[in-house]
Amino acid sequence: MRIDLHTHSSVSDGTDDPRTLVRKAAEAGLDVVALTDHDTAEGWSEATAVAAEVGITLVRGMEISTRLGAAGVHLLAYLPDPTYAPLAAALDKILDGRNSRVPAICAKLGELGFEITAADVRRGAAAAAATGRPHVADVMIAAGMVATRDEAFERFLNPGRPAYVNRYAVPLAEAIALVSASGGVGVIAHPWGRGRSRVLSEDTLADLRDQGLVGLEVDHQDHSPEARDALRAIARNLDLVVTGSSDHHGTGKIDHELGCNTTAPEEYERLLDLAAQAAAASGRPAPGVFA
Ligand code: AMP
Ligand code: ZN
Ligand code: FE
Ligand code: FE
């Protein structure tokens, strides 16, 4: 069984629409794929419709923008109920922050001499419920200002670069609680990617586990072999589920091909069991996987 639990479609900052993404996942030989767009469940119904046709199991998920102190942390939520009002309200607030940030980034780029409007970005991100910096990068590429999304982030859009603008993210512990109360489970995405090892220490992860966190995404392209070994040991100590995934973004991110990292079947089964328990405890209907 080949299981990839983290992918993005054009509903957020991936480049394939949900149907195409699921089709490509089946073609790549995956048996299970999770659609985890940033902060939205918009792509679920399209993805579900095609999963049956191509014979792949679809896990409904999303990657929620959270913060721990000043640090941004991504929380993968599996099988949450997005109609649970407190979760829906938190996601709306994040999406509002994403939308209002776009004109602010454009204004900063304008000061640097680049004429890009929020309308240009909106047009390019036509299918996206969640707009992000990658959509700004795509307009910059089209205008010939940069060659790749990577270059746009490194020169302009990353924290500390001249067109960076912060946005709202839900406090991590609150996001974990919302996901659990909605009947789903939370797994921290790329916990030690991009310098986060200083923030997410074993002690902090132990506290988060006590607050309902169920797993860590250990096998991810942002982690060195040493980081993976250390995170695997922490997961074992804390009895957290270990996942692995591609974080595929279509052509939007290099070196993140579908299935480049995978989740062990026994870890996947544990995740589903924990989600079923969360759904039972919440009294909410579990959206379930679509096989
Ligand atoms: P935002 O959602 O606006 O905060 O933008 C962050 C997202 O952009 C991340 O979740 C990644 O998917 C993507 N991203 C971050 N850095 C890069 C990069 N160097 N190249 C391409 N995509 C990136
Ligand atoms: Zn992304
Ligand atoms: Fe992420
Ligand atoms: Fe991601």
Across the range 87-103, mean pLDDT stands at: 97
pTM attached to this predicted model: 0.97
Q: Which of 168, 188, 247, 253 to mutate to test the pocket of ligand 1 (most atoms within 8 A of CB)?
A: 253
Mapped onto helix, strand or coil, the DSSP state of residue 225 is: helix
Over residues 153-163, the pLDDT tens digits come to 999 999 999 99
> Is the CB–ligand 1 distance for residue 132 below 6 Å?
yes
What is residue 249's predicted lDDT score, i.e. its pLDDT?
A: 98
CATH class of 96-157: mainly alpha
Beta-carbon contacts of 82 under 8 Å, excluding residues fewer than 6 positions away, are 41, 62, 88, 91, 182
183-234 pLDDT, tens digit per residue, is 999 999 999 997 666 799 999 999 999 999 999 999 999 999 999 999 999 9
Residue 46, pLDDT > 90, answer yes
Cα of 74 from ligand 3 centre, angstroms: 5
Q: Tell me if domain 3-91+168-290 and domain 96-157 are identical in fold.
A: no
Contacts of 186 (CB under 8 A, 6+ apart): 75, 76, 77, 78, 175, 176, 179, 180, 212, 213, 214, 215
Q: Could you report the per-residue pLDDT of 120-142, keeping only the tens digit for each?
A: 999 999 999 999 999 999 999 99
Q: Which residues pair with 126 in a beta bridge?
A: none
What's the gap in Å between 204 CA and the centre of ligand 4?
22
CA separation for the pair 290, 79 (Å, rounded): 11
CATH of span 3-91+168-290: 3.20.20.140
Q: What is the mean pLDDT of residues 92-103?
A: 97
- The residue contributing the CA closest to ligand 1 atom 12 is 13
What is the overall mean pLDDT for the chain? 95
Q: Where are the domains of the chain?
A: 3-91+168-290, 96-157
Question: For 15-35, what is each residue's pLDDT tens digit?
Answer: 999 999 999 999 999 999 999
What's residue 197's pLDDT? 63
Question: Could you tell me the distance, in angstroms and rounded to a whole number, from the CA of residue 276 to the centre of ligand 1?
Answer: 31
65, two tokens = 């923008």
- Once rounded to an integer, what is the mean pLDDT over residues 253-271? 97
The answer to whether the CB of 220 is under 6 A from ligand 1 is no
For residue 257, how far is its CA from the centre of ligand 3 (angstroms)? 15
Cβ(133) to ligand 1 under 6 A?
Answer: yes
**Pairwise CA distance, residues 75 & 190, whole Å:** 9
Tokens of 208: 């988060």
φ/ψ region of 196 (left if φ > 0, alpha if ψ in -120 to 50, else beta) reads alpha
Q: Which residue, among 10, 19, 68, has the nearest Cα to 40 in the 3D structure?
A: 10
pLDDT above 60 for 291: no
Those residues whose C-beta lies under 8 Å from the C-beta of residue 65, and which sit 6 or more positions away, are 38, 39, 72, 74, 94, 167, 168, 169, 170
Q: pLDDT digit string (tens) for 49-75?
A: 999 999 999 999 999 999 999 999 999
* Distance between Cα 217 and ligand 1 center (Å): 17
pLDDT in tens, 228-260: 999 999 999 999 999 999 999 999 999 999 999
* Rounded (5°) CA angle 261-214-48: 60
- Distances in Å between the Cα of 193 and the Cα atoms of 21, 118, 199, 207, 227 are 24, 29, 11, 20, 9
21, two tokens: 């993404």
Q: How far is the CA of 132 from the centre of ligand 1 (A)?
A: 8
Burial label for 228, CB within 10 Å (0-12, 13-18, 19+), is: middle
Question: What per-residue confidence (pLDDT) applies to 284?
Answer: 82
C-beta 38 within 6 A of ligand 1: yes
Do the Cβ atoms of 27 and 2 come closer than 8 Å?
no
Q: CB under 8 Å to 6, separation ≥6 — which residues? A: 34, 36, 61, 63, 76, 189, 217, 220, 243, 245, 246, 247, 248
**Given ligand 1 and candidates 40, 99, 108, 149, which is best to mutate, with the most ligand atoms within 8 Å of its CB?**
149
| Nearest bound ligand to the CA of residue 132 | 1
Nearest CA to 188 among 161, 215, 209? 215
